[in-house]
Chains A and B, each alone.
Chain A
């Protein structure tokens, strides 16, 4: 073989090894993360019963009470409310962008949505704290503006870019043929969107909504700034409460590593990770199903 060929062969091998190393590194990091969090988090159960952790609302580490139910409930509640508001708005926005908007509007909106995704969450939190918190307090006449409603509102805005961009892609990938067939059969454009395009894009839209939920449940900074961080079960839309990430961020700074308290925070992080993981698995399942149907 000529020297040139040998060089090429070596370069090829080198490139392959670099790619392999990168992939291995990623895998090792994610596994190490899960193992570490699991190891720290599960140690909680040597001092706290799983039943207490998951179902008690008494979070009082000074007295050895580690009930995290209020935080789990708070997380799920704000996520649900955020998706209830943000989901439909996002999907409707996507329909507009994919099917109705003139090209030049699309050309402005597409980068705008991407930019929107890049806004740091502390900016949302700061605006929430200075604008939304006082507005909620005054408009609804409640003593404090911190709470579920404010946090859900901020989150519903924060998940919009995720929902919009993924739904738009899903809608754009619906074959033009289906639409044309529907219109040819005499359906109005609205009927076509409602009965043909949206159902055809359903798996993609569901994926968009689940990823939006994953974004909402893990959001820390913006929620922490507006929710009030009260370790108490929310009993109304206006009651300050706490979510898993907000409680972790408020308490971790002063909690010694390795104490039961610190471990309980790790366990909360693990619960959060598992919830996100389940959402990702659901998304994978949906896209697998979509592949079969297509």
Chain B
């Protein structure tokens, strides 16, 4: 672990040198052609694993335009991304949760990358299709324990969701629970896929996953009468979403700025975001 951080520091130093070389081309709006001749250097980014697949595509596309830039993408989780960018060991910290209280005064600048919608799913034997916001709160906090209390059959509700360190869980706590606490009486799985398969095989199970993970093995539930769709998120009717964010220490500059500008551009977002189950940031009201 330690040597990893040493490496990261060395990398950051190399990068600082690289960045100072390209610092000259920091003018605000320039077209891609001008940029392709000037942008070079190394970019390191870590954090959210949910955003990683999208950024990997972004990296490949970006390389086609700027072959003198090297981008080093790694995971580690949202909180790790925030911590590392605050410490200066990476250039970009990716996160699907808002900045933690510890990092508020570290001069981090947030750029929103995509909208990340979440969908509540249940086992297919559950006859309920829709729950109200309050019913979700009562189920997640453990107040409602049986499906018959929300119009289903007499069957125990089994909550299947993510660990306390998960960004998805933090989002649901924030957006749906609004401060109330999750019950500890739940089955915990450590990824979206595992949550989905546990729900698919456990009668009476309910949980939430990133919208991209909803498939025919489970039943997608509506939230307050609104069925999830990208349009519903864009219109502001479906509130269960968060933003994928990229944090930089200070305003992004040089190659980092070029990369962030590229992955948030309509050109990239319209093609790739929806394909990966995200809502293009260009369509969202920020």
Which residues from chain A sit less than 8 Å from chain B, CB to CB? Answer: 36, 59-62, 130, 133-134, 137, 143-146, 224, 228-232, 240, 242, 249-259, 261
Chain B interface extent, by class: 20 to 34
A133-B201 CB under 8 A given contacts A143-B156, A230-B185, A249-B190? yes
A230-B190 CB under 8 A given contacts A133-B201, A134-B201, A254-B77? no
A258 to B189, CA, bound (A): 24
Q: Do A230 and B184 touch across chains, with their CB atoms under 8 A apart?
A: yes
Q: How distant is A146 from chain B, measured CB to nearest CB, in Å?
A: 5
Q: Do B187 and A144 touch across chains, with their CB atoms under 8 A apart?
A: yes
Q: Top 3 closest A-B pairs, CB basis?
A: A254-B77, A229-B188, A254-B165
A130 to B201, CA, bound (A): 9
A232 to B183, CA, bound (A): 10
A145 to B203, CA, bound (A): 10
Q: Do A253 and B190 touch across chains, with their CB atoms under 8 A apart?
A: yes
Instruction: Report if B254 contacts A (CB, 8 A).
Output: no
Q: Do B164 and A257 touch across chains, with their CB atoms under 8 A apart?
A: no
Q: Do A240 and B187 touch across chains, with their CB atoms under 8 A apart?
A: yes
Instruction: Report if B94 contacts A (CB, 8 A).
Output: no
Q: Do B185 and A229 touch across chains, with their CB atoms under 8 A apart?
A: no
A254 interface neighbour in B156, B158, B166, Cβ under 8 Å = B166
A240 to B163, CA, bound (A): 14
Given A143-B203, A253-B77, A257-B80, 5 new contacts (CB under 8 A): A143-B156, A240-B186, A254-B76, A255-B79, A259-B83
A61 to B173, CA, bound (A): 14
A229 interface neighbour in B2, B156, B190, B203, Cβ under 8 Å = B190
Residues on B with beta carbons closer than 8 Å to the beta carbon of A254: 76-80, 163, 165-167
Closest to A265 in B: B165
A261 interface neighbour in B2, B165, B185, Cβ under 8 Å = B165
Q: Which of A232, A240, A254, A257 has the most CB of B within 10 A?
A: A254
A231-B164 CB under 8 A given contacts A254-B78, A256-B83, A259-B83? yes
Q: Do A146 and B187 touch across chains, with their CB atoms under 8 A apart?
A: yes
A255 to B82, CA, bound (A): 11
A255-B190 CB under 8 A given contacts A144-B158, A232-B184? no
Flag B113-152 by CB within 8 Å of A: 1 or 0 each: 0000000000000000000000000000000000000000
